[in-house]
Amino acid sequence: MKRIAILGSTGSIGGQALDICRRHPDRYRVVALTARGSREKLFDQVREFRPEMAGLTEGIDPAEIPEDLRFCTFMSGREALKAAAAEVAADQVLVSIVGIAGLESVLNALAAGRQVLLANKEALVTGGHLVTELAAKMGKPLLPVDSEHSAIFQCLQQAANNRAERILLTASGGPFRTWDRERIEKATPAEALKHPNWNMGAKITIDSASMFNKGLEIMEARWLFDMPEEKIEVVVHPESIVHSGVVFRDGAVLAQLGVPDMRVPIGYAMAYPERIETGVAAPDLFSLGKLTFEKPDEEKFPALRLARAALRAGGAACTVFNGANEAAVAAFLREEIPFGGIARLVEGAMERLDGMRADGLEDILEADRQARKYVMEMK
Ligand code: MG
């Protein structure tokens, strides 16, 4: 029986992880759940899974806690994340919150000796050096939940002691893959929120349309697999069946295939190294017929070029890339800037804040604040 804490349980990944817990009550005991502000949904989850602790980061008044849920300790704010990550006794901590708060949670969970199932991109993007160093020191390698990184991780299980030469990071290309530059510039939030294959939260769906998501994933892969950015190749694959692969020196490519359903990578991380039933069927290759691959267009999607520049620059450049993008996406969703403005603001922030350091958590949080401030002033 594994004791699991889920940070971000009312989000898309958290909900699917609970679905796997529901399928395997003999394997998983849910000990902690946290949400940002979805209290009714969190209450329902507490009622069903009966964790020891639950938290709302936006805060909760004890009077609001329903009578029948008083068996559970409710907490608020940053303290709730800290308790779920490191204080409640757990074997596994699934970090599926969105944003830079994930960095502190991952560091707290690792320091407490937890196995981290990583579904938060920001932790590696902004503090990859701190996270990987601590994971190595604690002897608790990170288990990636992002579908591409899970695919790479699965392929590397077959590598024995052979080092991969390159990584093939697949990308669906998003809803604007076939659009021209002028049309992308003026895309509306409704158009950007229509992802062709994956059903995900709003921020990551916009990031898929702009390909900032793939830029963030190059950064994640750099840290998870200790691979320089020039050896991480982005391959546009509109069907989203091949979830990524690795190239070996003998010319062999190993790739992982599956239908686009996050329960597969979530289940793999939860049960690793075992494979368990997830409710997902294998893809039907005969009905798919063929799979296609294209080179990404870095003119139409500047995010890839900016991500590589940020990785080469080092310091807090990736934190600036991430913080500026997050603030710009929020401004785009409020219809304050055009879609094309997202990349321009990120590039501007990277130029303005060039040279900021990322030696510790405080430096990183400061670079993140400066990047957001830049976007709020320049939008
Ligand atoms: Mg992904």
pLDDT score of 276 more than 90: yes
Nearest residue to 244 via CA among 293, 198, 313: 293
| Distance between CA atoms of residues 277 and 131, nearest Å | 30
Distance CA 290, CA 300 (A): 26
Contact 378, 336 (CB under 8 A): no
Q: How much is the pLDDT for 269? A: 98
Q: Please state the rounded mean pLDDT for residues 293-303.
A: 95
Query: Which residues, 6 or more positions from 207, have their beta carbon under 8 angstroms from its beta carbon?
Result: 213, 216, 325, 329
Question: Could you tell me the distance, in angstroms and rounded to a whole number, from the CA of residue 349 to the centre of ligand 1?
Answer: 24
| pLDDT of 95 over the 90 cut | yes
69 alpha carbon – ligand 1 mean position (Å):
35
Instruction: Give the whole-angstrom CA distance, residue 124 versus residue 51.
Output: 28
From ligand 1's centre to the CA of 3, what distance in Å? 26
Q: Is the pLDDT of residue 203 over 90?
A: no
pLDDT tens by residue, 252-261? 999 999 999 9
Cβ contacts of residue 174 below 8 Å, gap of 6+?
195, 196, 208, 209, 210, 211
CA of 146 to the centre of ligand 1 (A): 5
Query: Which residues of the chain form beta strands (DSSP E)?
Result: 2-7, 28-35, 53-56, 73-76, 92-95, 115-118, 143-144, 166-171, 232-236, 242-247, 253-257
CA of 148 to the centre of ligand 1 (A): 5
**Pairing verdict, β 242-247 and 253-257:** antiparallel
Q: What's the pLDDT at 204?
A: 86
- Render the burial of 227-242: b for 16+ CB within 10 Å, e for the rest: bebeebbbbbbbbbbb
Give the distance (Å) from ligand 1 centre to CA of residue 203. Answer: 13
CA distance 230 to 227: 8
Confirm if 145 and 119 have CB atoms less than 8 A apart. Answer: yes
User: What residues pair up with 235 in beta bridges, in sequence order?
Assistant: 170
Q: Is the pLDDT of residue 201 over 80?
A: no
Q: What's the mean per-residue pLDDT of the chain?
A: 96
Taking the centre of ligand 1 as the mean of its atom positions, its distance from the CA of residue 202, in whole angstroms, is 14
Backbone angles phi, psi at 257, to 5 degrees: -115, 150
Which pLDDT tens digit goes with each residue over 239-253?
999 999 999 999 999
The predicted model scores a pTM of 0.96
Return the SS3 of 128.
Answer: helix
For residue 283, how far is its CA from the centre of ligand 1 (angstroms)?
18
Q: How far is the CA of 198 from the centre of ligand 1 (A)?
A: 10
Residue whose tokens read 């030696």: 359
End-to-end CA distance of the chain: 50
CA of residue 70 to ligand 1 center, whole Å: 37
* Amino acid making up residue 59: G
**Residue 144 confidence (pLDDT):** 98
Distance of CA 172 from the midpoint of ligand 1 (Å): 10
The Å distance, Cα 306 to ligand 1 centre, comes to 18
pLDDT of residue 196: 73
What is the reported pLDDT for 195? 76
From ligand 1's centre to the CA of 109, what distance in Å?
22
Assign residue 139 a region: left if phi > 0, alpha if psi is -120 to 50, beta otherwise? left
Distance from the CA of 80 to the center of ligand 1, in angstroms? 27
CA distances from 356 to 308, 311, 351, 363, 367 (A): 17, 13, 11, 8, 7
Copy the structure tokens of residue 17. Answer: 């992880």
Structural domains in the chain plus CATH codes: 2-141 (3.40.50.720), 147-261+280-299 (no CATH), 314-379 (1.10.1740.10)
**pLDDT higher for 199 or 280?**
280
Helix (H) or strand (E) run with residue 278 in it: none
Give the CA distances from residue 212 to residues 190, 217, 347, in Å, rounded to whole numbers and listed in that order: 18, 8, 12
Taking the centre of ligand 1 as the mean of its atom positions, its distance from the CA of residue 98, in whole angstroms, is 13
